[in-house]
Structure 1
Amino acid sequence: MTPCALIVMGVSGSGKSTIGQALAQRLGWRFEDGDKFHPASNVAKMHAGIPLTDDDRWPWLKAIADEIDRGCEASSAAVIACSALKRAYREVLVHARHDVRIVYLRGDQPLIAHRLALRKHHFMPPELLASQFQTLEPPGDDEGAVAVSIDAPIDGIVDEIVRQLQSAPADRASPNGNPA
């Protein structure tokens, strides 16, 4: 099944927006940055160096899920950058849809810390990276995620994502426990 949405996930600094934009351009899809769906209170907390709680994240994730549903219903395929660090967060975003896929940008903490140190004018301070890695639950095999290393040039990462999307369909379990 061809997905109607791809959620590019990973910790802050993994390249979600950069890779998401390049992937959307390659596919001819629209790109949405999940950060724009954060309420002002979340942005203020992160800007102050305060990690978000699950209670902070639920309305944000629901707003992104609503955008995914709107786009899929309108046949407007999208690539959406969203940290989606926990399985429970991804379940809100995907909510058993078989036409939404996760793309996990995998990288180690030293590489990402280096990238964050070079980044300017972002509301997420580098000091919160450790909390992001503590929260991270990499996608399980049953989530049908595409997992790629971020230790490559942008075009190489996008090539690998497209290759994986074309080579294997999602193998997510459906709500009744059977493969999708």
Structure 2
Amino acid sequence: MPLAVLLLGITGSGKTTLAQALADHGYTRLSVDEEVHRLHGRYGVDYPEHTYFERQRPVVEAIRHRFAKELEAGNDIVLDYGLWLREERDAWQQAARDAGGHPVVVYLPASREELLKRLAERNMRDDANALTVTPEALDDFFARFDPPADDGHIIVYTGDLAVLMAALSTKRYRRA
């Protein structure tokens, strides 16, 4: 049964870096932000910020379709998408199960201070993963974020890839 690793974290928490590392270990990486960038350019530069969600919606649906096809084909997936809302996480977990995959949620916690530091560096870039985020926008993100329940079904990523790979291996064989 293929794994569907669903990354959970606020902008700047390290989801893309982790997704790229998992891709290096054979996971098929699906990135909503990169696809929006490929189709529409830079957020707030090539199109108005207030139009982001209308541009993102069809991209999420296309990625959801590819997500299912990859799992049906037996490929392990890593979804590089924030999954801020509990209902969104639940829907993606169900989509993984419906496609014959085993969903695993990996949470990347980060403090506001750490995120501000990372975002200040990232805001200087202009690539697909360099969404410019102000401190006020970050506060808004935190206000809209549903933290995960501490129910034992979520892996908390501490920055140690080897530990995560071992946990994923355990999930693959236990199907918790």
TM-score band (shorter)?
A: 0.7 to 0.9
Aligned counterparts of 1:166 and 1:36: Cα–Cα separation in 2:
27
Residue 38 of structure 1 aligns to a residue whose secondary structure is helix
Query: Which residue of the other structure, out of 114, 124, 133, is the alignment partner of 1:126?
Result: 133
Offset at residue 136 of structure 1 (A): 1.2
Aligned counterparts of 1:87 and 1:42: Cα–Cα separation in 2:
29
Q: Is the 8 A contact 2:33 2:81 kept in 1?
A: yes
Distance 1:144 1:80, change over 3 A: same
1:24-70 deviation per Cα after TM superposition (whole angstroms, max 9, x unaligned): 213x22222221343867964697555966x7765444333222101
Aligned counterparts of 1:139 and 1:124: Cα–Cα separation in 2:
24
Structure 1: 5+ residue stretches without partners: 172-180
The answer to whether the aligner puts 1:30 opposite 2:28 as a matched pair is: yes
Residue 83 of structure 1 aligns to a residue whose secondary structure is coil
Aligned counterparts of 1:83 and 1:118: Cα–Cα separation in 2:
20
Aligned counterparts of 1:170 and 1:50: Cα–Cα separation in 2:
41
1:77-119 deviation per Cα after TM superposition (whole angstroms, max 9, x unaligned): 2212111111111123222626122111111110011001011
Structure 2: 5+ residue stretches without partners: none
Aligned counterparts of 2:142 and 2:41: Cα–Cα separation in 1:
19
Aligned counterparts of 2:90 and 2:55: Cα–Cα separation in 1:
16
Q: Residue 104 of structure 2 corresponds to which residue in structure 1?
A: 101
1:124-172 deviation per Cα after TM superposition (whole angstroms, max 9, x unaligned): 22212222211111222458221123xx4xxx2x12322322345464x
Q: Residue 139 of structure 1 corresponds to which residue in structure 2?
A: 148
Q: Which residue type is aligned with residue 124 of structure 1?
A: L
Aligned counterparts of 2:18 and 2:72: Cα–Cα separation in 1:
25
Distance 1:35 1:117, change over 3 A: same
* TM-score, with structure 1 as normaliser: 0.72
Aligned counterparts of 2:51 and 2:165: Cα–Cα separation in 1:
33
The answer to whether the aligner puts 1:82 opposite 2:91 as a matched pair is: no
Q: Which residue type is aligned with residue 71 of structure 1?
A: E
Q: Is the 8 A contact 1:42 1:52 kept in 2?
A: no
Aligned counterparts of 1:146 and 1:42: Cα–Cα separation in 2:
33
Percent of aligned positions that are identical: 23
- RMSD of the TM alignment (CA)? 3.1
Q: Residue 91 of structure 1 corresponds to which residue in structure 2?
A: 90
* TM-score, with structure 2 as normaliser: 0.73
Q: Is the 8 A contact 1:35 1:82 kept in 2?
A: yes
Residue 138 of structure 1 aligns to a residue whose secondary structure is coil
Offset at residue 71 of structure 1 (A): 0.5
Count of matched residue pairs: 162
